[in-house]
Amino acid sequence: MKASEAILARRTFVRLCTACAAFLGGGPGPQTKAVAQTRAPVRNRKNFVAIQVKPYAWVDEGIDALLDNLQQKGNVNTVWAYTYDYSEARMTRGGTIPLPDHGVSGDPHFVGGAFYDYDPKYFRNTILKDFRSPDYGKFNVIADVAPKVKARGMDFFAWDYNNAVPMMNRNIPNFPQVTEIDVYGKRTTSPCFNHPDYRAHLSGKIESLLSGYASEVDGIAWGCERMGPLQNAIGGGWTTAGISCFCEHCRAKARERQISVDRAQRGYRLLGQLFQAAAQDRRPVDGYFVAFWRLLLEYPEILSWEKL
Ligand SMILES: [Zn+2]
């Protein structure tokens, strides 16, 4: 990406955040006025220099010391603070990430969740309502960090991290009800983006951040490193287990788009067989690429399902 494109993309992103805030504020009415009074417009910084910061980093290094580092060594003007995280990757003694200059070693015990207090009213429409992180003494990254960020003339963005982490399945009550179902009918541990309760969970988070912390949160960075069934079948970094999703909600969405569920399922099962054979070095008669390409041409539903 060229530098000019990168700046444009960032500006577009900031505009989207502003638009998102306006949208969630609703139409004209008392609620919109209340939000407008407390929320300053997002600044379109000429140089948007942001960095992600995990919750434990504030605890280990100290909020002021960490902000000193960001400002003095990185010229950072926007903090993307994780406000929702199930992937700690904390530096521990003898761990996989050797960073000797990072504060102290952490406790590997981690529950994860929202690192802020939210009003349950934002989660009335979902079964996923209990996800406040108990970690680090119930640390509230917005209440404790945002005022200090803003006092330095920096902006505070909530880094809303929505990767699929198996521990969510254990730590969020009712979570197994919203997980994806693979092409063979088996439940996975990854949430389905077409499940209404998971969607309400996501929009509840946006509302709880923008309305619940209107004067602290300047924007939201949407974090999500996930892929569809085709890319998950191919594999590589950030893939999740299972060729999914074939749950009732995804099937219904496919029917609305006039995509054949049966043909998609058949195509993906053949694709699964091809990849299993490849993993065992069982080369198809016509070669791997031809076999793969032929499947995509014979079952265009494979690609259609990828973007459901
Ligand atoms: Zn689904």
Tokens in use for 289?
Answer: 């690429």
CA distance 178 to 131: 15
Are 97 and 89 spatial neighbours (Cβ–Cβ below 8 Å)? yes
| Domain residue extents for the chain | 50-225, 248-306
What is the predicted pLDDT for the residue at 94?
A: 72
Spacing, Cα 134 to ligand 1 middle (Å): 29
Spacing, Cα 250 to ligand 1 middle (Å): 4
CA distance 232 to 221: 24
From first CA to last CA, the distance across the chain in angstroms is 27
Q: What is the pTM of this model?
A: 0.83
CA distance 63 to 69: 10
SS (H, E, C) 88-121: CCCCCCCCCCCCCCCCCCCCCCCCCEECCCCCHH
Spacing, Cα 265 to ligand 1 middle (Å): 13
Kind of pairing, strands 187-191 and 78-85?
Answer: unpaired
Tokens in use for 203?
Answer: 């929009």
Spacing, Cα 23 to ligand 1 middle (Å): 26
Spacing, Cα 124 to ligand 1 middle (Å): 21
Alpha-carbon Rg for the chain, nearest whole angstrom, is 22
What is the predicted pLDDT for the residue at 125?
A: 96
What is the predicted pLDDT for the residue at 46?
A: 85
pLDDT tens by residue, 61-105: 899 999 999 999 999 999 999 999 998 777 676 777 666 666 677
Spacing, Cα 47 to ligand 1 middle (Å): 39
What is the predicted pLDDT for the residue at 103?
A: 67
What is the predicted pLDDT for the residue at 45?
A: 85
CA distance 211 to 209: 6
What is the predicted pLDDT for the residue at 305?
A: 97
Tokens in use for 270?
Answer: 């053949």
What is the predicted pLDDT for the residue at 238?
A: 83
Q: How many angstroms separate the Cα of 10 from the Cα of each of 41, 148, 154, 214?
A: 16, 24, 16, 21
Q: Which residues of the chain have pLDDT under 50?
A: 1-37
Spacing, Cα 41 to ligand 1 middle (Å): 36
CA distance 156 to 216: 7
Rounded to the nearest 10 degrees, the angle between the axes of helix 141-151 and helix 63-74 is 40
Tokens in use for 297?
Answer: 């041409």
What is the predicted pLDDT for the residue at 119?
A: 97
What is the predicted pLDDT for the residue at 289?
A: 96
What is the predicted pLDDT for the residue at 2?
A: 41
Residues near 212 by Cβ (< 8 Å), separated by ≥ 6? 116, 118, 119, 122
Alpha carbon 101 to its chain centroid, in Å, reads 28
What is the predicted pLDDT for the residue at 236?
A: 82
What is the predicted pLDDT for the residue at 19?
A: 41
Spacing, Cα 22 to ligand 1 middle (Å): 29
Spacing, Cα 172 to ligand 1 middle (Å): 18
Spacing, Cα 170 to ligand 1 middle (Å): 19
